Amino acid sequence: MDSRQASSLSINSMPSCGEFCVFPTRQWFHKLLKATLLLLTLLLASCVKETDSVSLPLDPGPDTLATDSFVMRNPEIREDLLKQLDIHRIEYWVNVDGSIGFFVRDTSEVDRLANEAIGVYISLQ
């Protein structure tokens, strides 16, 4: 085989421009498709519903000795609220600054009674 035949063989064995130009685009598309499918699979696998066997941390709730206070400047509402706190046996105290102190565990009941006392005062005006 002379050099002419060898060079013509190598030229003929190379893909045409159409095949050569399309192949990298097709390869790029396949890589992109694989990467997208992999990412989608990872996202779907990470969004699995938690099982009931996982123990959740227990909420200890408010500290039973934690305290809070508020100031009620209107004397009529203040007196009515103090009476209601006594009636409902909610422990409270009057601080040096005049605010009404209570335990945090009673917050919802104190809020309810304060709102009722304010509502009664407003309805009488």
Task: Specify the pTM.
Answer: 0.49
DSSP for 22-88, please give it.
Answer: HHHHHHHHHHHHHHHHHHHHHHHHHTPPPPTTSPPPP---S-TT-EEEE----HHHHHHHHHHHHHT
Tell me the C-alpha distance between 85 and 68, whole Å. 15
Can you give the pLDDT of all 125 residues of the chain as single tens digits?
Answer: 555 555 555 555 555 555 555 556 777 777 877 878 777 777 666 665 655 555 655 555 656 788 899 999 999 999 999 999 999 999 999 999 999 999 999 999 999 999 999 998 888 88
pLDDT at residue number 34: 82
